[in-house]
Amino acid sequence: MTTGQAIATKDLTLSYGDTIIINELNLEIPKGEITVFIGGNGCGKSTLLRSIARLLKPKSGAVLLEGEAIARLSTKDVARKMAILPQSPSAPEGLTVLQLVKQGRYPYQTWLKQWSTEDELKVKSALRATGMEELKDRTVDSLSGGQRQRAWIAMTLAQDTDTILLDEPTTYLDMTHQIEILDLLFELNEKEQRTIVMVLHDLNLACRYAHNIVAIMDQRVFAQGKPEHVINCGLVKNVFGMECEVTIDPLFGTPLCIPYGKGRCILKGEGILG
């Protein structure tokens, strides 16, 4: 695995109007790893991801991509290094999967070079990697939720970037398709060493897939590191305001968070979890 940082933020402050969302954040995101942002609703994790993707201008500070401030790079240069899949994107009615994936090559097109054989190859391999070859002539709106998300991921792959950002890529998907999408991203990281940064809501899946977890709370990073090092009852209590027990995932050995709360308890005698 390569070393070094793919993305860093320098004294990054983000705000909506006068409301500060992220305050003077210095964050480093390692190259070639999967990094997952976690945190409660409205903690600013999506805002942070959007700002890294230059979709949101910082109030002050900078985002550095491979050491260079993205504000100084041309937006097409950035698009050749970093792809972003926003939360629940919507394709225009009637757009086919192939047309969608071809748009991923936009950053490489110029007046002189409209469409090259390299573009063609990258589109093909993106369709293959996501298993969308068979469905390439279907319209995006006719696909199921999981297929649709794979089509969008194929578009970001066609962009052929070292870094891919995804804002809640598993939202609205059932459990099977959540795993399918995360497995796909995991494989992309394993095989091609792409840096993947995403926001996930499911803490347990985050622990399973992430090399690096960033827990965000109160306009700053509460903790960052390997899930097995940073995820514990104290962190969950602080970041999510929830009482829980953290145990070990019996299949993967990664941290597994089991929340307290009401609900039916069918354990005989004294429950082991209190």
Partner 1 sequence: MLLKTNSMRWAGLVLAMLLLLVLMSFSIVYGYTDTTWKIAIDAFTEFDGSNEHIIIQSVRLPRALIAAAVGASLAIAGVLLQTLTKNPLAAPEIFGINAGAGFAVVIAVSLFSISSLQFFTWLSFLGAALSFIFVYIIGSIGREGLTPMKLTLAGAAMSAMFASMTQGFLVLNETDLEQVLFWLAGSVSGRKLETLITVLPYFTAGWIFSMIIAGKMNVLSMGEDVAKGLGLKTGMIKLGAGIIVVLLSGGAVAVAGPIGFLGIVIPHLTRAIVGIDHRWVIPFSGLFGGMLLLSADIAARYIIMPQEVPVGVMTAVIGTPFFVYIARRGFNQS
- Is 95 one of the binding residues for partner 1 (CB under 8 A)? yes
| The binder of partner 1 chosen from 22, 25, 63, 84 (CB under 8 A) | 84
Find the part of the chain contacting partner 1 (CB under 8 A) among 73-81, 119-127, 185-193, 236-244: 73-81
Cβ nearer to partner 1, comparing 93 with 134: 93
| The binder of partner 1 chosen from 11, 60, 71, 94 (CB under 8 A) | 94
Asked if residues 9 and 61 have their Cβ atoms less than 8 Å apart, the reply is yes
Least Cβ distance, residue 100 to partner 1 (angstroms): 8
Cβ nearer to partner 1, comparing 94 with 253: 94
Closest to 51 measured CA to CA, from 35, 43, 62: 62
- Is 89 one of the binding residues for partner 1 (CB under 8 A)? yes
Backbone angles phi, psi at 232, to 5 degrees: -150, 175
- Is 78 one of the binding residues for partner 1 (CB under 8 A)? yes
| The binder of partner 1 chosen from 93, 117, 134, 268 (CB under 8 A) | 93
Cβ nearer to partner 1, comparing 103 with 224: 103
Tokens representing residue 55 in the block = 């979709």
Lookup result for tokens 């969608």: 100
Residue 28, burial from CB neighbour count under 10 angstroms (0-12, 13-18, 19+): middle
Cβ nearer to partner 1, comparing 154 with 236: 154
| The binder of partner 1 chosen from 11, 67, 106, 229 (CB under 8 A) | 106
Cβ nearer to partner 1, comparing 16 with 260: 16
- Is 10 one of the binding residues for partner 1 (CB under 8 A)? no
- Is 90 one of the binding residues for partner 1 (CB under 8 A)? yes
- Is 100 one of the binding residues for partner 1 (CB under 8 A)? yes
- Is 1 one of the binding residues for partner 1 (CB under 8 A)? no
- Is 17 one of the binding residues for partner 1 (CB under 8 A)? yes
| The binder of partner 1 chosen from 75, 116, 142, 144 (CB under 8 A) | 75
Query: Where on the chain is the footprint of partner 1 (CB under 8 A)?
Result: 16-17, 50, 53-55, 74-80, 83-86, 89-95, 99-100, 103-104, 106-107, 109, 159
